[in-house]
């Protein structure tokens, strides 16, 4: 890997997006490098152009990011970490304006929905835009005094805007989980005590196939914290599953569980073995 690549971390979206903010927060020594699509970000990491990728996998309110589940298997990338970013929406305008001047706020549809009640209370009309960070960039170009953008704090810093109101989001427990990815040949076995293993597998279209495939995890006392199904290649009879369990595959009991899984499942692929983020411990059961 080149020295240039070792200083870059790939993300999908415009500069000033939440993914950009996540890169800056946890990998300040890497240069955040934007790509228009998840596919392009994955390809940059796989080719060695970027050392790492910061990819959103799920949101507490909006659910999983389906593209990531489809792209990760057979991608040549592995998960080496997880990070949880609180989604804090900032209402921002040009430096010359004040909150009292704002009649319209524009942003991505999801951001507007998450700030609906706050906008109503401020008597500000919502207006859809294709991207949160893009709305901040657009406002920095138009310089309208009566319009505000809803975007991450980093977008205000990047585009020279003033934050008019912080934490505009209606639900303050909204969080996005990011996966940190790297090329397969760069993976180092984690030494942390609490470890997660992510994997995918398929089951044959026969009765009780999933029950039998998962039996080894139950009998060996493995805590499975996530199990999601998804359709692969548009074939409804070909159901695949994304799963996460506590432990590393080399642990005796988890090794036995994977051996039993192999009898009833097909195309089992380990996507990553990585430390559990301490954020999980702050969540009540």
Average pLDDT over residues 28-55: 95
pLDDT number for residue 227: 94
Which of 205, 223, 220 minimizes the C-alpha distance to 280? Answer: 223
CB atoms within 10 A of CB 20: 24
pLDDT number for residue 22: 96
The tens digit of pLDDT for each residue in 212-252 reads 999 999 999 999 999 998 877 666 666 789 999 999 999 99
Q: How many residues does the chain have?
A: 285
Which of 106, 75, 76 minimizes the C-alpha distance to 91? Answer: 106
pLDDT number for residue 2: 45
State how far the Cα of 6 lies from the Cα of 29, in Å rounded to an integer. 9
Determine the Cα angle at 241 with ends 240 and 245, to 5°: 155
Place of tokens 């657009």: 138
Can you name the residues that pair with 269 across neighbouring β-strands? 200
Indicate if the pLDDT at residue 58 is higher than 60.
yes
pLDDT number for residue 92: 98
Please report, for residues 36, 44, 56, the alpha-carbon distance to residue 40 in angstroms, rounded to integers and kept in the order given.
7, 6, 14
Residues tagged active-site: 176, 178
- Inter-residue contact 241 to 229 (CB < 8 Å): yes
Q: 32-54 in b/e burial notation, b at 16+ Cβ within 10 A? A: bbbbeebeebbbbbbebbbbbbb
- Inter-residue contact 52 to 78 (CB < 8 Å): no
Please report, for residues 36, 154, 186, 271, 284, the alpha-carbon distance to residue 54 in angstroms, rounded to integers and kept in the order given.
14, 16, 15, 15, 26
State how far the Cα of 34 lies from the Cα of 13, in Å rounded to an integer. 6
Which of 219, 175, 174, 177 minimizes the C-alpha distance to 196? Answer: 177
For residues 206, 237, 271, 2, the Cα torsion angle rounded to the nearest 10 degrees is 150
pTM for the predicted model, two decimal places: 0.88
253 pLDDT band, cuts 50/70/90, is very high
**DSSP label at 277?**
P
Tokens standing for residue 107: 């942003």
The tens digit of pLDDT for each residue in 114-160 reads 999 999 999 999 999 988 999 999 999 999 999 999 999 999 999 99
Indicate if the pLDDT at residue 257 is higher than 80.
yes
Indicate if the pLDDT at residue 190 is higher than 60.
yes
Which of 66, 58, 54 minimizes the C-alpha distance to 182? Answer: 54
Indicate if the pLDDT at residue 1 is higher than 50.
no
Place of tokens 């039998």: 212
Which of 209, 135, 208 minimizes the C-alpha distance to 168? Answer: 135
């Amino acid at each position: 890997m080149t020295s240039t690549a070792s200083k870059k971390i790939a993300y999908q979206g415009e500069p000033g997006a939440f993914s950009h903010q996540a890169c800056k927060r946890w990998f300040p020594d890497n240069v955040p490098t934007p790509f228009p699509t998840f596919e392009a970000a994955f390809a940059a990491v796989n080719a060695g152009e970027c050392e790492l990728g910061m990819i959103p996998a799920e949101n507490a309110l909006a659910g999983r990011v389906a593209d990531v589940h489809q792209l990760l298997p057979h991608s040549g990338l592995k998960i080496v970490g997880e990070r949880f970013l609180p989604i804090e929406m900032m209402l921002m305008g040009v430096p010359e304006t004040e909150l009292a001047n704002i009649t319209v706020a524009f942003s991505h549809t999801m951001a507007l929905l998450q700030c609906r009640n706050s906008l109503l209370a401020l008597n500000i009309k919502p207006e859809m835009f294709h991207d949160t960070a893009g709305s901040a960039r657009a406002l920095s170009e138009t310089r309208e005094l009566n319009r505000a953008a809803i975007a991450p704090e980093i977008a205000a810093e990047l585009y020279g805007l003033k934050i008019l109101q912080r934490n505009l989001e209606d639900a303050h427990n909204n969080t996005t989980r990011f996966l940190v990815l790297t090329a397969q040949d760069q993976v180092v076995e984690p030494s942390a005590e609490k470890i997660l293993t992510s994997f995918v597998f398929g089951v044959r279209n026969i009765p009780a196939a999933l029950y039998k495939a998962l039996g080894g995890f139950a009998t060996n006392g493995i805590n499975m914290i996530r199990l999601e199904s998804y359709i692969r290649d548009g074939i409804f009879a070909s159901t695949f599953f994304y799963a996460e369990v506590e432990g590393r595959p080399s642990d005796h009991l988890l090794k036995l569980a994977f051996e039993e899984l192999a009898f009833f499942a097909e195309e089992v692929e380990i996507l990553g073995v990585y430390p559990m983020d301490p954020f999980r411990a702050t969540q009540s059961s």
